[in-house]
């Protein structure tokens, strides 16, 4: 189940991250510096936690996949058509979120393991 939710969430994150900026107000989203970093971090917390639960034997691959996904998002956001700015701090927020997500998933697995 975590694998399916991961893939659906990844699709949603990519769609929102690559949606041209002119469409964001229609979705009730305004992009400010702090909100943008927080959105990146939260998205990657969720992705890392779900990915870690879905593929526990492939954490290193998950980290590489998510780090490259975050970098690709930034490169693509720099494309004029999308109308967003490429920002390395967004990628830093992605990686920080990923670390938190992996920590949460690890804590959850240990906690549930003790209860069983």
In this prediction the pTM is 0.85
Does residue 83 register a pLDDT over 90?
A: no
Strands, DSSP E only, in the chain?
Answer: none
pLDDT in tens, 18-54: 888 777 667 776 666 567 899 999 999 999 999 999 9
Query: Average pLDDT of 44-65?
Result: 95
The secondary structure of 30-75 as a DSSP string is: ---HHHHHHHHHHHHHHHHHHHHHH-GGGHHHHHHHHHHHHHHHHH
Query: Average pLDDT of 92-103?
Result: 96
């Amino acid at each position: 189940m975590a694998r399916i939710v991961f893939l659906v969430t990844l699709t949603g994150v990519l769609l929102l991250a690559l949606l041209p900026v002119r469409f964001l107000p229609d979705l009730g989203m305004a992009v400010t510096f702090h909100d943008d970093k927080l959105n990146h971090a939260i998205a990657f917390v969720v992705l890392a936690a779900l990915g870690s639960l879905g593929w526990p034997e492939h954490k290193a691959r998950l980290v590489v996949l998510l780090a490259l996904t975050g970098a690709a998002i930034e490169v693509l956001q720099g494309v004029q058509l999308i109308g967003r700015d490429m920002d390395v701090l967004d990628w830093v927020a992605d990686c920080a979120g990923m670390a938190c997500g992996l920590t949460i998933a690890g804590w959850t697995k240990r906690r549930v393991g003790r209860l069983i």
